[in-house]
Amino acid sequence: MVNSQVVVDQQVQNVLDALKGRTINHVYFVACGGSSAIMYPNKYIMDREAKNISSDVYSSNEFIHRNPRKLGENSLVILCSMSGTTPETVNAAEFARQKGALTVGFTNQPTSPLAQESEFVVKYLWGEESIAFNTNLGLLYQLTMGVLNVLEGNDKFDKMINSLSNLQAVFEKSNKQYESKALQFGQDYKDEKVIYTMASGANYGIAYSYAICILMEMQWIHSHAVHSGEYFHGPFEIIDKDVPFIILLGLDETRPLDERALDFSKKYGEKLVVLDAKDLDLTGIDEELKGYLAPLVLNNVLRRYAEQLADARNHPLSKRRYMWKVEY
């Protein structure tokens, strides 16, 4: 990929072409668990940027049963499942298509049931084979900004594509920068029974994902993603010197919420793991988009923290007792 002439992913472009001249008044982001969590920053972008289009994030089965009355031919429904087999998400695609909505399925498996039930498919890569540009989040951001560009003339699309093309280098720098901190985290927190995460704005979904997928699912550690703004209206009564909090500080407009939560936590807590996006080297990311892209980098860093925690606890991230093993 040559930076001087970066182009949007062709699969995303196909969706954008289909949107031209079509009336869309609502975008539904529909998925489960970790795939749902990555939708949150996309809604943040929609809320900040959309002049007319509204949006919602729903867990797939909630979406189907809630059955939003507005859902119809003026809706765009964006779904995601890595394997493409998550039954609730496959059913949600079918449900939305039958309502006349335009459906786009993000998956690593382009012949999967989700791909078959979706009008458009975006295959994303993951793990060693991927670069930031073609991960689930990288491609979702291309689509979200593309939707805003095509339907409302938003001018940040090209900047987003360019910034995403430079993101892999940022990931690699951040991996190096946080290598020893991640190792230390694993050592320091390996015996904890409860670890909270906290964030707001564009970063809340990352905190949510870390709580439910990494800590609860993959490590069997109690957790809860606390919203930095809600913290002072209940949750903060839980903190004391023995209660660990991972606090994310973003670069988006809600950063003051995180800063306030951190300031308070420093006074009464002693087990604070602070990931501040200000410390990142974001060379190549457009100044205007740093707030939107910070969660992707923080997410990447947090994955390193997860790997080290798993190592220190001798509890592999792949270990499950129920998922894929028993009936549910």
**Which H or E run contains 77?**
strand 75-80
Beta carbon of residue 50, minimum distance to a copy of itself (angstroms, whole number) = 6
In the complex, the smallest distance separating the C-beta of residue 66 from a copy of itself, rounded to whole angstroms, is 6
* Binding mask of the shown chain, residues 135 to 174, with x at each position contacting a copy of itself by CB under 8 A: ----------------------------------------
Q: Which is nearer to a copy of itself, 34 or 146 (CB)?
A: 34
Q: How far is the CB of 298 from a copy of itself (least distance, A)?
A: 18
Structure tokens at 319: 């270990």
Q: Which of 86, 107, 136, 163 binds a copy of itself (CB under 8 A)?
A: 86
From 110, 115, 114, select the one nearest 125 (Cα to Cα): 110
79 Cβ contact list (under 8 Å, min separation 6): 30, 31, 60, 89, 92, 93, 96, 103, 104, 105, 106, 114, 118
Q: How far is the CB of 67 from a copy of itself (least distance, A)?
A: 6
Could you tell me which of 298, 315, 301 has the C-alpha nearest to residue 191? 315
324 makes contact with a copy of itself (CB under 8 A): no
Pick the stretch among 104-112, 125-133, 184-192, 234-242 that binds a copy of itself (CB under 8 A): 234-242
Q: Is residue 256 near a copy of itself by the rule CB under 8 A?
A: yes
Q: How far, in Å, are 60, 162, 181, 320 from residue 123 at the CA level?
A: 19, 20, 33, 26
Which of 152, 187, 130 has its CA nearest to residue 53? 152
Structure tokens belonging to residue 170: 């940022």
Which CB atom, from 173 or from 303, has the smaller least distance to a copy of itself? 303
114 close to 107: Cβ distance less than 8 angstroms: yes
Beta-carbon contacts of 122 under 8 Å, excluding residues fewer than 6 positions away, are 9, 11, 12, 15, 104, 105, 106, 107, 139, 143
Q: Tell the smallest beta-carbon distance from residue 283 to a copy of itself (Å).
A: 26
Residue type, 102: L
Q: Which of 43-51, 106-114, 117-125, 173-181 is the region at the interface with a copy of itself (rule: CB under 8 A)?
A: 43-51
234 near a copy of itself, judged by CB under 8 A: yes
From 105-113, 168-176, 226-234, 270-278, give the range in contact with a copy of itself by CB under 8 A. 226-234
Binding site for a copy of itself (CB under 8 A): 26, 32-36, 44, 47-52, 54, 56, 59-62, 65-70, 86, 88, 193-194, 200-201, 211-213, 216-218, 220, 222-224, 226-227, 229-230, 232-238, 253-254, 256-257, 260, 264, 267-268, 320-323, 326, 328
